[in-house]
Amino acid sequence: MKKIPVIIFFLTMIIACKKNEEPKRGSFLTGDGVFLINEGNFMGGNGSLSYYSYDSSKIYNDLFTEVNGRPLGDVPNSMELYGEMAYIVVNNSGKIEVVKKSSLQSVTTITGLISPRNMGFVNSSKAYVTSMYSDSLIVINLNNFSVSGYINLRRSSESIVVLDDKAFVANWVGGNEVMVINTLTDEVIDSVEVGIEPESMVVDRNNMLWVLCNGGWMRENFAELDGINTVTNTIEKHIQFPTKEASPGCLRIDGNGETLFYLENGVHRMSISSQELPSEPLIAQSGHYYYKLGINPVNGDIFTTDAVDYQQNGHLLHYNSEGSLVSDQQTDIIPGSMCFKLSDN
Amino acid sequence: MSSRTLRYTLLYIAFLLAYPLHGQSSFSNDTINIGEVVISSKKANSDAPGFKTSSIDTTILKLNSHNSVAYLLSHFSGVSVKSYGMGGSTSPSFRGTGAGHTLLTWNEININHPMLGQSDLSLIPAGLIDDIQIYYGGASMPLNSGGIGGTINLETRPVWKKETLMSVNPGIASFGQYTGLIKLRTGNSAFQSVTKGFFQSSENDFRYLNTGISNEPVWQKRTNSQFNQRGFVQEFYLRQNKSVTSARLWYESTNRNLPSSMLIQQPKLRETQSDESLRTMLNWDHFGGSNKFSVTGAWMMTKLNYTNSLASIDSRNNSGTFILKGTMERKVDAFTNLKIALNEEVCRINSNNYNDNTTRNTVSLTATAERNSGGRFTSLLLVREILDTRNFLIPDFSAGLQYRLLAGKEYYLKANLSRNSKIPSMNDMFWIPGGNPDLKNEYAFIYEITYEMNHKLSAPITMNYDLSLYRNNIKDMIQWYQGEYSYWTAGNIKGVNTAGIESSFSLDYSENSFAARLRAAYVYTRATTAKSNITGDASIGRQLIYIPVNKANCSLLLNYKMLYSSWTMSAVGKRFLKVDNSEYLPGYMLNDLITGYRLHLKGTVLDLNFQIENIFNVNYQTIAYYPLPGRSYSLKLLIQIFK
């Protein structure tokens, strides 16, 4: 009888020693997948990075903190892969976290940025960063990860597309212009007037720049989809949404540059040659609140995020290219933009 | 389980509840002779039978005259306080409810900011207040509606004696803080004038360990956190044969820079806030035979301006509030008291965040009957009808029952049941964007049982103990959420249940020139989401964020002749940061020491007071990534001249 406590003690120890069955980070990060930025709550400091692995169809949350032992920051907004590095733009912390793509190990932090939003890569030495609360585009030297200059736009900036020797920068908050930058001289060379609040942009296979203008949050203007000729910097296509209540967002394009996708009470799909907007969504929003959208450039899979009530963990919803649900993964708070890591890409 | 085991188990549970305890002293007799004893001219509704109330010890109040009311509540009561740091916005939470469910009153007149529906307790220095009373749950009903969690009442009172007192009380503290409090009280048994002035300024540039911005923790200094505050109170009291008339004025102005989260290191980010308020009050109390009448008129204005240079925000908000409150109390017979109260509140908002100037008119009529059976039972019944602009709300009610367990002894069993409504704040309804004019009022059913005892163990030793169990079921709770459009909007979307245990204990010893007072309190709070319109809501059944399950505080005051000392311990358990309770802020325990020497000369008192806050230099946060100061020191000198 006297041995019973000893036996219980050792049994407890054995039970307490839980085997770590999670694969090591290196293993799942080497395969194909999607990085997901969880914005977290404004001023809450609970932004995070997730990775959805195609190999295991599993999501791994809070990876930045797990690898680097510190929080990612306040409201991370976007992530881009370039070379061996991944760049995470953390909006409200005013910084860019540079990490190794293969391990997410921190390389450096570019600090002192005013409200950075999105990144566009000009070449292996230079990138541009848009800024919501300043009137300048930030120029980053990728050789030493430092700010090398600013391009005065005289207005705030949001999405950015770099094409040949031009960068197109959308003036989203309260604006209605797309600024054109000469990437060789870092000078503003032109601007194109578009609809109210150009929110997102993509380039199609014909090098047409598609600009989705959401009409402004007050719903006082019609949202519109504009197509800009990137040689002449003029609008060649203009499609207006049917009601002022429509507030589309998150314009994306497939890997072939032929099919556009956007969110508007569901996921909508339209051909770049179409003259009108789709009347019905490809994926209805039923039961979800779609926040962001991503399209796998290789196989056309569709990913949406559901931010639920913006306070609890959200969802990453994976659909195949025809809109059938493949999986529903739980993310961290306010899952936002996505960044595809694909070997064929 | 054998009866012996059961007995020991119950004894152990009682010990757990009773021992580590207290803060909210439920008695107000001062036995430590370190300050003047303030005599109340008007007893508040603190003895409503069947309800739980307490007050911050006036001795504690005087020792902490340069601290804010927020500090006193967090260290000496069961009220939880969430703070963005010294000088930063600080909000209270009662019994697991939100800041908007706490009513702040000044001499029983609502002073919650009408736009926010809540108060920033960091704006109120303790030195301007004579007494802080805490009304838990349904106990707040006799004062006003809306205090679903409870009410904090700030009292200012006259001292009816022929005397002139002048006091000057400068202080200096760590992080470039300078404070000053002056007071002039003069009058006689019929007329009193009280003048108080207060100023405080601080660089607030304390060092903290930033663990969030790089792989190795970095020591940093808090920046953009300066604040300065000044306040002024003038009171006149006139006592006649059967009436007391008073006129009060309270002006405050605070300018502060708002430091950001330690994760935010943006250049050119500069947030500022300035708060200005002017509160005036005229009151007439008449006592005649079996009738009492009271009429109070109050006019208050507030200015709250917020700027954010980075986001180009310049938010300007002005409010004006007029309150008229009349009560009539009649003793119907030897055992029964009836009271009728009419409360009219008109507020007008001028804000660049609203479409137009916005006005709201709220009228409430409250009838209260209190009956003392002449034996051990006392009971109270209250019914209230509220007219909110044009809508009559479902009537609220409250019922309390109190039973004296032993004749002639102060052992009480109390129970109460209430329904309390809270009308939405003006911001909830009219803020652009997202304000929802169609919001319904929140309401709660509140249940409570309290055991309370006050026992004189021997001539020099007195013991007090109370234990309360409560439950609040809050319906139609207002929350801002991301709606159909791309901005947040307010809605009645949640139901929340809170339940808990509050226990407090105190022991007083006083003999010859030595006095000691030990107080302890423990609060256990479960606050969970009960209902939500979100499918699969992960918050259902989980503890609400930032509501600690466990909170305890303890203080020991010692006084020997001219020397006095106070040790305070305040412990707060972990607070969850995510609604699914997967992340939390760790708990912390703070220890503060005050020691001083008080010298009585002829007509003059000199008091030198030294204080150490956070003695063990604990690194803690009450809001994630907003650091709070480590160890700090302050030195105060009080010079009082009596004539």
pLDDT at B76 over 60: yes
Amino acid at B306: Y
Give the confidence band of A270 by pLDDT, cuts at 50, 70, 90: very high
- Select the residue of B269, B487, B624 nearest A44 (Cβ to Cβ): B624
Nearest CA in chain A to B581: A312
- How high is the pLDDT of residue B407? 87
Give the confidence band of B22 by pLDDT, cuts at 50, 70, 90: very low
ω before B433 within 30° of 0 (cis)? Answer: yes
- How high is the pLDDT of residue B573? 96
Contact A45 B534 (CB under 8 A): no
Contact B485 A308 (CB under 8 A): no
- How high is the pLDDT of residue B33? 39
Contact B212 A71 (CB under 8 A): yes
Contact A114 B267 (CB under 8 A): yes
Of the residues B211, B214, B263, the best mutation for testing chain A's interface (the one with the most A CB atoms within 10 Å of its CB) is B263
Q: Does B211 touch chain A (CB under 8 A)?
A: yes
What are the CA-CA distances from residue A88 to residues A48, A266, A278, B38, B203 (Å)? 10, 27, 34, 60, 34
Q: Does B487 touch chain A (CB under 8 A)?
A: yes
Higher pLDDT, B30 or B380: B380
Average pLDDT over residues B7-28: 35
Q: Does B608 touch chain A (CB under 8 A)?
A: no
Identify the three-state secondary structure at position B176.
Answer: coil
Residue B475 dihedral angles phi and psi, to the nearest 5°: -110, 155
Amino acid at A282: L
Give the confidence band of B595 by pLDDT, cuts at 50, 70, 90: very high
User: Which residues of A fall below an 8 Å CB-CB distance to B?
Assistant: 43-46, 68-71, 73-74, 92-95, 106, 109, 111-115, 133-134, 214, 217-219, 247, 249, 287, 289, 307-313, 333
pLDDT at B503 over 90: yes
Give the confidence band of B28 by pLDDT, cuts at 50, 70, 90: very low
- CB of B580 within 8 A of CB of B538? yes
**Least confident span in A81-85, B260-264, B327-331:** B260-264
User: Which B positions 511-540 lie with beta carbon below 8 A of chain A?
Assistant: 534-535, 537-539
pLDDT at B12 over 60: no
Q: Which tokens belong to B557?
A: 């005051």
Rounded distance, CA B236 to CA B196, Å? 12
Give the confidence band of B486 by pLDDT, cuts at 50, 70, 90: low
Contact B312 A289 (CB under 8 A): no
Rounded distance, CA A293 to CA A305, Å? 7
Residues in chain B with CB shorter than 8 Å from the CB of A93 are 213, 263-266
- Select the residue of B267, B269, B534 nearest A308 (Cβ to Cβ): B534
**Least confident span in B145-154, B424-433, B481-490, B598-607:** B481-490
What is the tens place of the pLDDT at every residue in B556-586? Answer: 999 999 999 999 999 999 999 999 999 999 9
Nearest CA in chain A to B433: A218
Q: Does B580 touch chain A (CB under 8 A)?
A: yes
Residues in chain A with CB shorter than 8 Å from the CB of B268 are 114, 134
Q: Does B311 touch chain A (CB under 8 A)?
A: yes
Nearest CA in chain B to A107: B215
What is the tens place of the pLDDT at every residue in A279-321? Answer: 999 999 888 889 999 999 999 999 999 988 888 999 999 999 9
Number of Cβ pairs < 8 A linking chain A and chain B: 102
Contact B486 A249 (CB under 8 A): yes
Q: Considering only CA atoms, which of B432, B577, B528 is closest in space to residue A311?
A: B577
Nearest CA in chain A to B211: A70
What is the tens place of the pLDDT at every residue in A1-56? Answer: 445 544 544 554 444 444 444 444 557 787 899 999 999 988 889 999 999 998 88
Rounded distance, CA B447 to CA B138, Å? 8
Higher pLDDT, B389 or A22: B389
Identify the three-state secondary structure at position B215.
Answer: coil
- Segment holding A7, helix H or strand E: helix A4-16
First to last CA, chain A: 66
Rounded distance, CA B543 to CA B549, Å? 8
Q: Considering only CA atoms, which of B370, B283, B273, B357 is closest in space to residue B320?
A: B357
Higher pLDDT, B593 or B85: B593
Q: Considering only CA atoms, which of A81, A163, A87, A164 is closest in space to residue A129?
A: A87
Q: Distance, in angstroms, between B446 CA and closest chain A CA?
A: 27
Give the confidence band of B24 by pLDDT, cuts at 50, 70, 90: very low
Q: Considering only CA atoms, which of A176, A168, A218 is closest in space to residue A193?
A: A176
- How high is the pLDDT of residue B40? 33
Q: Considering only CA atoms, which of A268, A271, A267 is closest in space to residue A256?
A: A271
Contacts of B470 (CB under 8 A, 6+ apart): B95, B136, B137, B446, B447, B448, B449, B498, B499, B500, B502
What is the tens place of the pLDDT at every residue in B99-124? Answer: 999 999 999 999 999 999 999 998 89
Contact B482 A93 (CB under 8 A): no
- Select the residue of A94, A133, A307 nearest B264 (Cβ to Cβ): A94
Average pLDDT over residues A186-202: 96
Rounded distance, CA B294 to CA B45, Å? 14
Q: Considering only CA atoms, which of B316, B305, B296, B300 is closest in space to residue B272?
A: B305
Amino acid at B114: P
DSSP string, B365-423: EEEEEEEE-SSSEEEEEEEEEEEETTEEPPPEEEEEEEEESSTTSEEEEEEEEEEEEEP
**The A33-38 sheet, strands edge to edge:** A58-60, A48-53, A33-38, A335-341
The dihedral region occupied by A216, where left means phi > 0, alpha psi between -120 and 50, and beta the remainder, is left
- Segment holding B298, helix H or strand E: strand B291-308
The answer, yes or no, to whether ipTM is higher than 0.85 is no
Q: Considering only CA atoms, which of A112, A107, A120, A52 is closest in space to residue A80?
A: A120
Give the confidence band of B485 by pLDDT, cuts at 50, 70, 90: low
Contact A94 B269 (CB under 8 A): yes
Q: How many CB atoms lie within 10 A of CB B29?
A: 11
Nearest CA in chain A to B489: A309
Q: Distance, in angstroms, between A181 CA and closest chain B CA?
A: 24
DSSP alpha helices (H): ranges in B260-373?
Answer: none
- How high is the pLDDT of residue B483? 63
Q: String of b and e for B379-393 (b: at least 16 CB within 10 Å)?
A: bbebbbebebeeeeb
Q: Distance, in angstroms, between B575 CA and closest chain A CA?
A: 14
Q: Distance, in angstroms, between B55 CA and closest chain A CA?
A: 34
Rounded distance, CA B420 to CA B140, Å? 9
Place of tokens 């009559």: B392
- Select the residue of A93, A115, A307 nearest B263 (Cβ to Cβ): A93
Identify the three-state secondary structure at position A293.
Answer: strand
Domains of chain B with bracketed CATH:
3-642 (2.40.170.20)
Q: How many CB atoms lie within 10 A of CB B639?
A: 13
Residues in chain A with CB shorter than 8 Å from the CB of B583 are 46
- Which of A336-340, B59-63, B528-532 has maximum average pLDDT? A336-340
Nearest CA in chain A to B217: A70
Rounded distance, CA B325 to CA B342, Å? 6
- How high is the pLDDT of residue B462? 94
Contact B579 A71 (CB under 8 A): no
DSSP string, B442-484: EEEEEEEEEEEEEEEEETTEEEEEEEEEEEEEEEEEEEEEE-S
- CB of A194 within 8 A of CB of A177? yes
Give the confidence band of B356 by pLDDT, cuts at 50, 70, 90: confident
Q: Does B577 touch chain A (CB under 8 A)?
A: yes
DSSP string, A32-91: -EEEEEE---TTTT-BEEEEEETTTTEEE-SHHHHHHSS--BS-EEEEEEETTEEEEEET
- CB of B208 within 8 A of CB of B262? yes
